[in-house]
Amino acid sequence: MSTATAVRPAPPVLDLDARLALVEAAMSVRLAEAAVAFEVNTAHLPAADPIPHIAEALPAPTVAPSPYRTPLVDLLHRARLRIETDGWCRDAVFDESGAVCPIRAIRLEARGDRDLAHDACVALLDAIQDNFADAETIPSWNRQQTNVRPVLAAFDRATHRAHARNR
């Protein structure tokens, strides 16, 4: 007696965009159903306000274009802006509030380009060592700082130096 076992294929793995599209479609259906239910439930009321018109899509936030055109300088500029926006983290790579250390800011803004991130870290360490000759690494120097101002100044020096070298 032979037995056959049925093998079910694995469900497809959906990426983030596909999952968001499915959720958007489901929400559109639910909103349409809610609008119909509202109209039915308030049809007998003489003074019922109609559903207010809601804009189809919110405008995308505008991001100021980078004033720099070379990849390394642009990366250093964006990493500095990330620290200004998300906050500066001194004793860890990041914290629960979203603040980041200089290296994490660079890696996040490099968007997977490890070579560019490495070059940016080297440029930042060079700029740090201009004023702090005893700084061996970015993390050790970062832990010694008491506020964000020297960190941002180091990013500024690294950005200006790389820009002058057209890197």
Query: Per-residue confidence at 85, pLDDT binned at 50, 70, 90?
Result: very high
Query: Per-residue confidence at 12, pLDDT binned at 50, 70, 90?
Result: confident
HSE, CB side, 13 Å, CA atoms: give it for residue 39.
Answer: 7
Does 155 have pLDDT greater than 60? yes
The pLDDT of residue 20 is 85
Does 39 have pLDDT greater than 70? yes
Sequence spans of domains, the chain: 17-49, 71-164
HSE, CB side, 13 Å, CA atoms: give it for residue 9.
Answer: 3
The answer to whether the CB of 133 falls within 8 A of the CB of 125 is no
pTM of the model: 0.60
**Tens of pLDDT along 107-147?**
999 988 999 999 999 999 999 999 888 999 999 999 999 99
The pLDDT of residue 9 is 77
Residues 6+ apart with CB under 8 A from 87: 95, 97, 98, 99, 100
